Amino acid sequence: MQRENNSSLSSAASPRVRHRKRSNEAIPEPSKANGGKLLVDDRNKYKSMWIRTYSTVWMIGGFALIVYMGHLYITAMVVVIQIFMAKELFNLLRKAHEDRHLPGFRLLNWHFFVTAMLFVYGRLLSQPLVNTMTSDKFLYQFVCSLIKYHMAICYFSYIAGFIWFILTLKKKMYKYQFGQYAWTHMILIVVFTQSSFTVANIFEGIFWFLLPASLIIINDIFAYIFGFFFGRTPLIKLSPKKTWEGFIGASVTTIISAFVLANILGRFQWLTCPRKDLSTGWLQCDPGPLFKPECYTLPGWISQWFTWKEISVLPVQWHALCLGLFASIIAPFGGFFASGFKRAFKIKDFGDSIPGHGGITDRMDCQMVMAVFAYIYLQSFVAREGITVEMILDQILTNFSFEEQQSLLIKLGQILQDRVAYS
């Protein structure tokens, strides 16, 4: 009894110790400067380099083959990449315990994904689809009807998913379900914003898709090479293995590559011509002033050192320098954002589908930023302004019925005949 009283008095006399709440952020190990080892100091760097090189060669080879096959196959590749990205991002916040109590909830995510895909690609590919179906009257009218009611179809599909979500809400699961609902919409915004600009670039001419994508690939490869052999100075804490040496070396290489690559790609009409339908044949068109070479005479002191007296430059090469500058300085911040995102969720990669690289999303972080810039730059500084004949025809074919188009043709013919008669 006395022992119990003594113990109670001692416990009352001793002050209560408050333990500070531990942060959820992972504390970097002291042995790792800046959160991780640089590639120069990594003992296993040659093994990882060969794995990464092997995967890179296969990816570049497959990418070149798909580009060679044409616009439609490149668009299909973008769709496949979207599906893999969505799958990786959907899995990021999944919890197995909660999912077992919500049968069919994963299917709802894909319902919203298909609805978003129908909306985005319906708007992007409506006119090429109409142009493809002009030879068949029944298919043409059917496609025109689908395009007319496209927005309504997408809206009611989304409303069906919204009602489905409300009906599946369960007690004690509200927070998880609403978190997944918000996460799904964020994924759709990120994935489809990037892809819509990418597909728009493809149909403006493969050149405007291939050049920006290639510059990101070149920048990534040479940042790795320069960092691998010369990297000593850490660049940013979010991405510990990135170095200033890799960043500067890759920037210089990317800008030079942009100027040279634009000259090579700009000489192929099947790369520069815009696609107006969904056929798969090669294109022939007037390349336009951007892709017609101009000769520049070199100064005399250069001619003394080299045999060249003049050089041939495509005007588009000056625009390529701007794309190269963005790809080397701004686009890498997409990768830094992805690195910070992965650190927040305490994961190394978004997936493991590409050996040595991680997941599809890990390879597309900078591409997403670059695709948007390439489209905005093209429409703002390269594309001709004003209303064109193609734009008017697109509106007529999309919004007018077949009878209205015939009536317009007759009236336009009468107006032209009257003008000819009075002239």
Report yes or no: 237 and 35 within 8 Å, Cβ to Cβ.
yes
Per-residue pLDDT of 33-86, as tens digits, reads: 344 556 555 566 677 778 888 888 999 899 999 999 999 999 999 999 999 999
pLDDT score at 185? 95
What pTM was computed for the model?
A: 0.79
Report yes or no: 269 and 287 within 8 Å, Cβ to Cβ.
yes
Residue 410 is assigned to a structural domain of this protein: yes
Residue 125 is assigned to a structural domain of this protein: no
Residue 415 is assigned to a structural domain of this protein: yes
Which residues, including other chains, have CB under 8 Å from residue 7's CB and lie 6 or more apart? none
Residue 318 is assigned to a structural domain of this protein: no
- Structure tokens of 96? 């197995």
Residue 404 is assigned to a structural domain of this protein: yes
Residue 394 is assigned to a structural domain of this protein: yes
Residue 417 is assigned to a structural domain of this protein: yes
Per-residue pLDDT of 136-156, as tens digits, reads: 777 878 888 888 899 999 999
Q: Is the pLDDT of residue 334 over 50?
A: yes
Q: Is the pLDDT of residue 358 over 90?
A: no
Report yes or no: 106 and 176 within 8 Å, Cβ to Cβ.
no
Q: CA 388, CA 205: separation in Å to the nearest integer?
A: 17
pLDDT score at 271? 93
Report yes or no: 93 and 179 within 8 Å, Cβ to Cβ.
yes
Count the domains in the chain. Answer: 1
Q: CA 121, CA 114: separation in Å to the nearest integer?
A: 10
In 3D, which of 118, 107, 195, 189 has the Cα closest to residue 157?
A: 118
For residue 409, give its domain range. Answer: 387-422
pLDDT score at 34? 40
pLDDT score at 304? 73
Residue 407 is assigned to a structural domain of this protein: yes
Kindly indicate the confidence band of residue 10, based on its pLDDT and cuts at 50, 70 and 90.
Answer: very low
Q: How many CB atoms lie within 10 A of CB 386?
A: 5
Kindly indicate the confidence band of residue 17, based on its pLDDT and cuts at 50, 70 and 90.
Answer: very low
pLDDT score at 40? 54
Q: Kindly state the DSSP code that residue 296 receives in the 8-state scheme.
A: E
Kindly indicate the confidence band of residue 371, based on its pLDDT and cuts at 50, 70 and 90.
Answer: very high
295 DSSP β-pair partners: 312
